[in-house]
Structure 1
């Protein structure tokens, strides 16, 4: 029985294998036919084309926004400023540079002009120009010297590359200028750089003012820029003033540097007043000649016992007006000690008294020569006897 069974198995195995192979082949053929039908379907190819076009459109839009947008040009402008490449920034702007001192367009002057600009705060927003579809305005918002500012740039489409990518360029501009003027100095320090004030602005015709003419200079700048100006001569100083320029079109206000007495001049005036009062105190009289203090008594006084001391010296406050230098009223305090003799009894006694005094003084400055003259006391500063 075992042999019959084996024969039966041997006789049926080839047949079953052939049947299975046929079934697999039939199934494979069916799948191939279905795949071929799908590949021949116009809807499949239309879908694939649509996906391909959409992907290409996204890629083109991304590349265009990243490398060919108006905002990219503005961002590059700010990058060039931070790198100190003002020549390339000027070329990018197609800028016209007005006459003036170019100290703020390169080197330390340019670096100082950007002092306080926070690059991380830069935000750009593009708007269309209704009057010209080929132009765009880009508003740059940023923090500068701790405050929020904006600069508006106008760009135009120059051409289209490879059918899709628009090339943008700045509409040509003229750089704004900062103006610095001073009456009492031929030079100024602008953004830590010395600059001559070469142009003189005369007083108005018919004016009776004694004020000197203004010395003026203009400075082209690349916005945004901060301009700091001051001056210091031996006897006069103009305290630092500053302004921020962010606009290409608005006229910047003039920086007018005032005039104050320098520390050296004030110290010199104080020293001259001290010397004057010390010489007053050296006089052993009740009313020193040409001096503001005095002492009145009806008793007999021996001059050899008179001793004046200055307890409080005045501190001069010097100002400069259209009429010239002026010293505000001065105030001081002195003490006198002396021996008096009563005319009736003949008694001798020591007297002491403090005297608060006030006086005025005039000041003249002629080049390096300074003259301080106390008023109304017939005092001659040139007489040292």
Structure 2
């Protein structure tokens, strides 16, 4: 009798195919997730509003002022300045690499969408000072499949700078003359504010260091886009300038002392006598004034200072005809003003009067 046939062997191919398809599906999901995560990372680092702002700040960090100014939404014309409530005549003299300070440790902090704009907040260190700024960014079309951005509010600010005591000053070491940046040119008012466009964020150190005047300076952090920043500094007279004025005053008094009259013309001292003089008066300055020069509007004042002149003269008495030699110290005070002329020279006017 023959043996019964063996049962058929199960076909394992469908099961194996299912496992392979499942594995492929898992891989596909993981790959899609990785691509999605990579896309999000790529967007955040290269194409997001924060990335746009950080590129602008990187340009400032590298000292590339011209490239930063070319970033969409940065540059402003006169009409846009006026619309932003800023001086339409603001000079762009400081929008250059030579006037930039260091900008480091820049990091994005947050993004906050509001309607058509996104507020991007960043932190940084500007010239050694930590700061935080918020910029408004708006989409400006597409580049292929990725968005392009522009500043909805320009990151430029305007420093309204008043410098008294000098027509020249420096910002971050960059030399500026008011007459070169003022809309009034050579007729610039020495006491009027000079509006100057500056990049934000940035630290701007303003100082004066000329032969006539100087100041320790003041540092201002520009951290608000499209803002007006009032700055006022007063330069003081240098030791060299005071020495020059001292010499000029002493020279003026020496000239006065050469006049052999009791009342030297145009001079702050003199002598009145009731009798007749029989010799020419001889004057000398026995105590020169200690000069102090102080700011006075667009110019300088010579503060009132004490001095003493001495006169020697022979006098005949009208009563008895006797002759005597008179030596008398005549105290007086001097004052005056100093005007700095356009060519940098100083016009010094000295005045004063006898005190007794």
With the shorter chain as reference, the TM-score category is 0.5 to 0.7
Of stretches 44-53 and 69-78 in structure 1, the one that deviates more from structure 2 is 44-53
Task: Compute the displacement of 1:169 (Å).
Answer: 0.8
Q: How does 1:342-381 map to 2 (within 5 A)?
A: 359-365=333-339, 367=341, 368=345, 370-371=347-348, 373=350, 375-377=352-354
1:223 to 200, 203, 219: 200
Q: TM-score, normalised by structure 2?
A: 0.63
CA distance in structure 2 between the partners assigned to 1:322 and 1:186 by the alignment? 12
Residue from 32, 51, 71 that aligns with 2:30: 51
- Provide the aligned length of Structure 1 versus Structure 2: 296
- Secondary structure of 2:243's aligned partner: helix
Structure 1 distance, partners of 2:298, 2:46, is 63
Give the structure with the higher percent strand.
2
CA distance 1:35–1:160, change in 2 (3 Å):
farther
Q: Which residue of 1 aligns with 2:242?
A: 266
Aligned to 2:153: 173
- Residue 95 of structure 2 corresponds to 105
Could you tell me which residue of structure 1 aligns to residue 226 of structure 2?
249
Contact 1:94 1:172 in 2 (8 A): yes
Cα 1:65–1:51 shift into 2, 3 Å: same
Distance 1:160 1:366 in 2: 57
Task: Quote the Cα distance in structure 1 between the aligned partners of 2:41 and 2:297.
Answer: 65
Matched, 1:40 2:18: yes
Query: In structure 2, what is the Cα distance between the partners aligned to 1:51 and 1:323?
Result: 74
Residue 332 of structure 1 and its aligned partner are, at CA, apart by 7.0
Q: Are 1:145 and 2:121 matched, yes or no? A: no
SS at match of 1:328: strand
SS in structure 2 at match of 1:138: strand
Show the 5 A alignment for 1:1-385.
34=12, 37-41=15-19, 43-99=22-78, 100-106=90-96, 110-113=97-100, 115-117=101-103, 119=104, 121-132=105-116, 135-158=117-140, 166-174=146-154, 175-182=156-163, 188-191=169-172, 192-195=174-177, 196-200=180-184, 214-230=191-207, 235=212, 240-253=217-230, 255-258=231-234, 260-274=236-250, 314-322=289-297, 325-330=300-305, 359-365=333-339, 367=341, 368=345, 370-371=347-348, 373=350, 375-377=352-354
Q: Deviations over 1:183-238 (max 9, x none)?
A: 6655554442334143359xxxxxxxxxx664553322222233344556775567
Structure 1: unaligned runs, 5 residues or longer: 1-29, 202-211, 293-307, 335-354, 379-385
After superposition, the C-alpha distances for 1:362-384 in whole angstroms (9 at most, x for unaligned) are 33547446445362239xxxxxx
Alpha carbons of structure 1 residues 161 and 48: separation in structure 2 relative to 1, 3 Å: farther
Instruction: Note if contact 1:186-1:198 (Cα within 8 Å) is conserved in structure 2.
Output: no
2:167–2:190 CA contact under 8 A, matched in 1: no
Whether the aligned pair in 2 keeps the contact of 1:77 and 1:89 (CA below 8 Å) is yes
8 Å contact from structure 1 (residues 200, 215) kept in 2: no
Q: TM-score, normalised to structure 1's length?
A: 0.59
Aligned partner of residue 93 in structure 2, secondary structure: helix
Q: Would the aligned equivalents of 1:138 and 1:152 in 2 still touch at CA under 8 Å?
A: yes
Report the Cα distance in structure 1 between the residues aligned to 2:294 and 2:353, rounded to whole angstroms: 21
* Distance of 2:27 and 2:296 partners within structure 1: 85
Structure 1, residues 25-75: CA drift from partner, whole Å, max 9, x if none?
Answer: xxxxx9x96575233246545434333332332232232233222222222
Structure with the higher helix share, 1 or 2: 1
Q: Which has the larger radius of gyration?
A: 1
